Amino acid sequence: MHPAGLTRLMALLTAVAVATLGCAHTQEPERRMYLIAEDASSIDFQEDAPGIGGAGADAYCNELQKQCYTKCMRRKPEIPSIEKHSGKHKEHCTTKCLNEFMDCIKKMEELERQEAQSKKLQFPSMSKALDWLKAHTPEAPPGTYVIVAGVGFVIAIIGGALFLVPI
């Protein structure tokens, strides 16, 4: 083979190899907004349980603490040396119920952490993500994190429409 022909053959093989490798990897989605639903007002998103999350967790735990204190003060203290309705009894009930309050807050924080992790959806491509989100919109309310081919998005309502917005 002539040197010029060999050079052309090498150039052709190199071009084919580069073109093939360039298309072999997963395409990363563009960093733009994607429409999920044109009108989000008719979508009935599932609500969290009442009293859980944010200030609701504090209110829930405060109520448990109040109930604990009332119940504790109505009963004779577990410690025989403490007289019912005495200063020591009030101190005992306050300490006992404060510990229950702190345990409640810790449990609520753990539930919120688990809930936040469960609200992260992952998809290999934008088309699969949009198909799933359109079919399961109530299961992915605004604020849900979505990972598409390694790129982070969040679901948001903008101008009454539901969008997938890059983070």
Rounded to 5 degrees, φ, ψ at 143 are: 100, -10
Residue 13 pLDDT > 80 = no
Neighbours of 121 (CB within 10 A): 18
Dihedral of alpha carbons 129, 132, 133, 139, sign: negative
Q: Report the run of H or E that residue 115 belongs to, with start and end.
A: helix 87-118
Residues in contact with 105: Cβ distance below 8 Å, sequence separation at least 6, in sequence order: 57, 58, 61
Strand 145-148 versus strand 120-123 pairing type: parallel
Residue 27 pLDDT > 70 = no
Domain, as residue range, for 162: 3-166
Of 51-65, 96-110, 130-144, the range with the highest mean pLDDT is 96-110
Judged by DSSP in three states, 41 sits in coil
Q: 12: which DSSP letter?
A: H
Q: Smallest Cα–Cα separation from 148: which of 51, 14, 5, 33?
A: 33
Q: Total structural domains in the chain?
A: 1
Looking at residues 75-88, what average pLDDT do you find?
92
pLDDT of 113-162, one tens digit each?
776 666 678 888 889 989 988 888 877 888 888 888 888 888 888 888 88
